[in-house]
Chain A
Amino acid sequence: MNMWISQHLLRALVASGAVGLMLFSPCRLSHAEPPAAGIPARPEQIVFAPLAFEPPDAAGFRRVLPDGTVVYLAPSHEFPLVNLVVTFKGGVSLDPTDMPGLAAMTARMVREGGTTTMGPTELDESLDFLATDIGVAATDTFTAATMNCLASNFDESLKLFVAMLRTPAFDEKRLETSRARILESLKQRNDDASSILGREWKRLVYGTDHFEATEPTDRTVAAVSRARLAEMHRRIFHPGNMIVSVSGDFDEKEMLADLQKAFSGWERGKAVADPVAPTAVLQPGLYHVPKDIPQGKVVMGSRAITRDDPDTIPFLLLNEILGAGGFTSRLMRQVRSNEGLAYSVRSTLTPRVAYPGDFRAGFESKNATVALAAKIVMEQIARMREELVTDDELETAKASLIETFPRQFESRPQMLRVFVNDEWTKRPKDYWKTFRDKVRAVTREDLKRVAVKHLDPEKMAILVVGDWENIAPGDLEKRASMKDFFGGTVKHLPLRDPLTLEPLPEKAGK
C-alpha cells in the first residue's frame, strides 16, 4: 500500500475522531476522502466568467512629429518612471563582409564612448547620479536604444540620451577597453558546449557568409576604427531610420513637444534596406563537433518558413503539439517524462520576415543515450507527417494560443514593442484582430499537410557536440546507435580556434 496514503489517513482519523472514521472505506484508501464542500471533483467542472479581450489598435497610440518621425505613446501613472525606446532599422544585418561585429560594436560605443560635448566618464557619472539606465544594442535586424529614468529626471536624461545618439564621440580609450573586453569574451567561445552548438548550427543553416552566422574574430575586432564606427553610425542613427516609443509617467502633449525639440535639426536620411536572404542551402546529414563533456548536446532541423507565410499559424500549432508546448508536448513526454533521457527537450520555430527561418528540435542527454533520444525525436517528427494529431491535442494547443493571446499586450512596454516591430516589418494590419479566428479555423489535416511540406527528416541536419567515441555506440540495451542516422555516415566538423574561428587540429576538442 502506498505509504503516504496510509499515514495521511491515520492523521485524518486522529484529527476527525470517530465520526470521521465512518467516512472512510478501508478498501478504497486512495479515494478515502470525499471532496470538501463546494469543491468540484475535477477542474473541468469549474465554471469561469467570460474574459473579453480585444487586441489594442496601434493607430490609437501612434503619433507623427512634424519632421515625420513616428512616435508611439502609452502613458501610465502607476510608477514615477519613464521608459523611452528608439528602434532603428538594421543591426547585425548591416555588417560589412570584412568586419562582422561592426554594428554591435557601434551600438556599444554609442553607449560607452561619450559625446562631442561630454567625455565618457563625466557622462556615465551624470547618468548614474540621475539613476538613469541607458542601453544601446544591435540585434540581427534592429538596433535599439532604451532609456529608463525617474519621471522627475526626464528632461536632463533625455538631453544626455539624445546627445549620445546624435553626436557620439567614440572615445579612443573606451574603444580600446571595449576591444580588449570583447577579445576576452571571444576566448571563451569554446568553453561551453552550448555556444559551440549554436555557432555551428547557424553556419550549417544559413551558410558561413550570411550575417546570421558570421561572427567577429580577433582580427576584425582589432581592425575596428573610429572611422568605421562613425560610418556605421551615420547609416543607422538618424530620424529617417527610427521609430520612437514611450511608456510610463508623462503627459502626452508635453512628451511630443520634448521629443520634437530634442530631435530638431537632426538630419533625416533614408531608412536602410531590408536584410538579404542567405544563399546557402542546408546539406542534410549527421554532423559532429568534438567537446569533452559527459553529455551530448544535439540540435536537428532545417530551414522552414517566413513569418507571413499562410502556413505559419498551423505550423505554430503543430510545433506546440510536437515540442514547444512544455510538458504537454510530445517530445517532452516521450524523451523526458517517459524515458528520462533529457532534462530539457523542445522544438523551436523561428520564422524570419525576409527569408525562411529554421525549425529545430534540441536536447541534451548522457553520452550513451544521445542516439536513443535523437531517434525518438526523429520518430516524433516523422509521425507528424504520417498521422493526424488527436482532436484533444489540437484543441489543447488552440486553447493555449487563444487563452494566452492577451499576454502579447500585457504591459505597455510590451504592447509598444509589438506596434513598433509590426510597423517596421509591415505586418498585415489585421493580423492581431484575426489571429484567434485563424487559430480556430486550423484543422488536423492542415497540420499534417504542413508537416509533409516543411518537416522532412531526410532533408534535416543533425548536429552533435560532445564525445563521439562514447556517443556513437548508443545505449546498453542497443535500442539505438548513431548508425541509425544517414547510414552512420558522420561528418566530423573541427572545433574552431576561439579567436580566429579557423579549424583547430583534430584532437583539440578531446
Chain B
Amino acid sequence: MSACRPVVFAIISLVLAGGFLAAPQAQAQQVAVEEFALDNGMRFLLVPRRDQPNVVSAGWVARVGSVNERPGITGISHFFEHMMFKGTDTIGTRDADRDAKYRAEQKAIRDEINRIVWTKQYDRLKRGEIADAWDPANDTQELRVLRGKLDALIRAQQGRGEGGPEAATIVKDEFDQVYTRAGGSGMNAFTSQDLTCYFITVPANKLELWAWMESDRLHNSVFREFYSERDVVHEERRLRTDSTPTGRFQEQFDAMFWESCGYSWPVIGWPSDLNSYTFEQAMDYWNVYYRPGNLFGIVVGDFDPVAAKAYITRYFSRLDPGTKPPPPVVTLEVDQIAEQRMNAEGDVPPAVEVRYHTVPAGHVDSYPLDMLSELLNERTGRLYTGLVEGRAIAGSARTASDTRKYAGLFSFEAETRGDATPEQLEQAWYEELAKLQSAEVPERELRKVKNRVAAGNYRRLENNMSLLIQLAFFETLLDWQEINNGPKKYEAVTAADIKRVANTYFSPANRSVAVYRRTVAGAEAK
C-alpha cells in the first residue's frame, strides 16, 4: 500500500496527514493496539498514548466505498457520508415527529420528479430537444410546479418559508455545534473506493461525548435534507472534478483503465446517479453496510482504556446487528489484453501517465512492487537522477503503487521540461523499466531505500490522527496487525524479488497510457 493516493472525497476539504507510506525494518516500533469487541459484532482498536496529553483522536470506519456500488447508485457511499452529519431524532431537530412528516412529503414529491425526469425528460434528451435532462432550466411546467413545492417544503422545514421560523423543525448543523461547544476539532469524514471513515479530535475528558454522538447517529440517523444536500455534492463535484485542470481527464482515464471491477466509476459518482438516489436505495444501503458487524472504531490518544471500554460498551451496544450481511464483491477485474491510450488536451502541463494492473493489498508481490516504486522516487531515486537531472527532459517524475482491497495499479507520471515531449518521457520510462527488468538492483541502493522506509515507519506514527487513518486503511484492506507485520515483509524483499515483479506486471498489453498536451492559446475553434 505504499505511496497510494487514495481517491477520497470528504465532507470538508481534507488532507490525509502523513500519507500512507510503507515502512519496513524488523526491529521497527510495535504499535500496541488493544482489540475489543461488543456482542453486536462491532470491534474497536484502542491505542492509549500519553505523549500528546489532553487530546484524543477517535473515529470509526464503515467497510463500504464506491467499489460496493453499481451503475445507478454510483456515489451513494459518499452521499451517505454527507447524510451522516444531518442528525437524528434527537440531534438536528426540535420536533422529530413534524420533521418526519416534512421528510415524508418531500420524498413523495421527489419520487414523482425523478419518475418524470427518468421518463419524459430522458426522452426529450434522446430526441435532442434538450441538452440536460436534470437542469431546472429545461423543466416542463409540471416539473416546475413540483420543484417549487419541494423547495417550499425544504424552506418551511428550515424555517425560511411558509410559516416562518415557527414552522422550522430543523436545528441546523446541531451535530457540529455540540462538538464545537465541547472543544471538538478537525471533525471530518472521507469516502474512498474501499472505506468510509468518520473522525474527530476531542479534549481528553470528552471521550464519552464522542461515544454518545457517534452511537446516536449510527443508531438513529434519519437522512434529514436527503434532497437538498445533493446541490452541495454537485458543487463539490464541480469544485473537485469539473473545475480542476485534470479532474475530468482523470475520471475518464480511470473509467478506461478499470474494465470490469467497481473501481471504474468515480467515488463522487456520475452526475445522473447523484440526482437519482431514492430513499429506498439509501435504506437498503444503510441496513446492509452500516450495521455493527461491518463497522469498527479506533481511539488513539490520552485516555484510560478501562473507562473507554465502559463508555463504548454502554453506548455502542445499542446498535442493532441487523439481519443482512454485506454481499461479497464478486466482479473481478478481467485481464487487459491490449494497450489502451488516451490523448487529452487542455489547460494542463504536457505530461504522461502510464498505468499497469498489479495486485491487491497484502498480495505477496505488493511488497516488492512498493519497494520498486521507492527505488524510483525521491531525490536520489532513479527518476530524478535519470529523467529530471540526467536527461533533463522532465520537470517532475514519480511512480506510485496503489494496492486496494480488490485490485491494484502501478503508475508512472511525469511532466515535461523545456521542449521535451510526453512521448520522450514515455520512452525514457520504458528504458528505466528495462534496466529493472534486466539487472538486479545493487545492494547498497536497496539498503538505502530500506533505511528510508524504516525511518518513515517511525515518523508516520508520531501523530495521533495519522495513526488513526493508517489503522483505518490497514484494518479495512487486510488487518490492523499489518502496521506491525508489514515492516518485516518490506525488510525481507530481495533484489531478485524486485527484478521478478518488474518482469511480471509491466508488459505493453497490460498498460494504459494518458498523454496530456497544453491547449495552445488562440488555437481553439470557438
Residues of A within 8 A of B (CB): 1-5, 7-8, 11-12, 14-15, 28-31, 36-44, 46, 48-51, 53, 76, 78-81, 121, 124-125, 128-133, 148-150, 173-174, 177, 180-181, 183-185, 187-188, 190-193, 293-295, 297, 325-328, 332-333, 336-344, 364-366, 395-396, 399-400, 402-404, 406-407, 410-411, 476, 504, 508
Contact = CB atoms under 8 A, between A and B. Distances in A.
A150 B452 CA distance: 10
B379 to A, nearest CB: 5
Interface stretch (B456-464, B475-483, B491-499): B456-464
A400 B183 contact: yes
B283 A3 contact: yes
A64 B54 CA distance: 30
Contacts of A343: 232-233, 235-236, 238-239
Given A5-B100, A48-B205, A129-B451, A177 B89 contact: no
Given A30-B99, A48-B206, A342-B232, 15 more contacts: A1-B104, A30-B96, A40-B212, A43-B213, A46-B208, A78-B49, A124-B379, A128-B448, A129-B447, A131-B456, A333-B172, A364-B239, A396-B180, A403-B183, A411-B463
Interface stretch (B112-120, B257-265, B314-322): B314-322
Contact of B173 (A78, A183, A332): A332
A333 B348 contact: no
B209 interface: yes
A39 B319 CA distance: 13
B63 interface: no
Contacts of A124: 379-380
B176 A48 contact: no
9 contacts: A79-B461, A81-B458, A129-B448, A131-B456, A177-B388, A188-B349, A191-B245, A333-B172, A342-B235
Given A5-B222, A8-B320, A131-B455, A411 B52 contact: yes
B177 interface: yes
A399 B183 contact: yes
B182 interface: yes
Nearest to B223: A4
Interface stretch (B332-340, B360-368, B413-421, B435-443): B413-421
A180 B418 contact: yes
Interface string B201-218: 101111011001100100
Given A51-B204, A128-B379, A177 B243 contact: no
B348 A191 contact: yes
Contacts of B213: 43
A365 B235 contact: yes
Contacts of A11: 287, 320, 322-323
A185 B416 CA distance: 11
Interface stretch (B65-73, B389-397, B425-433, B500-508): B389-397
A402 B183 contact: yes
Contacts of A31: 89, 96-97
A338 B160 contact: yes
A50 B205 contact: yes
A38 B314 contact: yes
B12 interface: yes
A37 B158 CA distance: 33
Contacts of B280: 3
3 closest A-B pairs by beta carbon, nearest first, are A403-B183, A340-B231, A184-B395
A338 B97 contact: no
Nearest to B160: A338
B232 A366 contact: no
Interface string B89-118: 111000011011001100100000000000
Contacts of B317: 36
A342 B13 CA distance: 13
Interface string B323-346: 100000000000000000000000
B162 interface: no
Contacts of A14: 323
Given A2-B103, A177-B389, A184 B451 contact: no
B347 interface: yes
A51 to B, nearest CB: 4
A41 to B, nearest CB: 7
A180 B454 contact: no
A338 B83 CA distance: 14
A155 to B, nearest CB: 16
B29 interface: yes
Contacts of B13: 344
Contact of A181 (B279, B318, B385, B388): B388
Number of chain B interface residues as a range: 35 or more
A508 B180 CA distance: 45
A223 B323 CA distance: 71
Given A294-B243, A295-B239, A476-B137, A43 B97 contact: no
Contact of A341 (B49, B229, B231, B315): B231
Contacts of A131: 451-452, 454-456
A498 to B, nearest CB: 10
B205 A12 contact: no
Contacts of A125: 380, 448
Contact of A78 (B51, B245, B415, B448): B51
B212 A344 contact: no
Contacts of B153: none
A492 to B, nearest CB: 18
A337 B349 CA distance: 36
B87 to A, nearest CB: 11
Contacts of B160: 338
Given A2-B103, A3-B279, A406-B203, A328 B177 contact: yes
Nearest to B91: A43
Nearest to B210: A43
B89 A148 contact: no
B128 interface: no
Contact of A295 (B54, B175, B235): B235
A365 B235 CA distance: 6
Contacts of B7: none
B467 to A, nearest CB: 12
Contacts of A132: 455
A59 to B, nearest CB: 20
B54 A181 contact: no
A4 B283 contact: yes
Given A188-B349, A332-B173, A399 B239 contact: no
B245 A192 contact: yes
B54 A53 contact: yes
B423 interface: no
A76 B51 contact: yes
Contacts of B320: 8, 11-12, 15
Contacts of A184: 349, 395-396, 415-417
Contacts of A12: 320
Contacts of B323: 11, 14
Contacts of B456: 131
Contacts of A295: 235, 238-239, 242-243
B244 interface: yes
B422 to A, nearest CB: 13
A49 B208 CA distance: 10
Contacts of B318: 36, 39
Contacts of B205: 48-51
A150 B455 contact: yes
B521 interface: yes
A174 B379 CA distance: 12
Given A30-B96, A181-B388, A344 B244 contact: no
Nearest to B236: A343
Contact of B228 (A188, A191, A340): A340
Contacts of B49: 78
A263 B213 CA distance: 53
A321 to B, nearest CB: 11
A2 B136 contact: no
Interface string B135-151: 01100000000000000
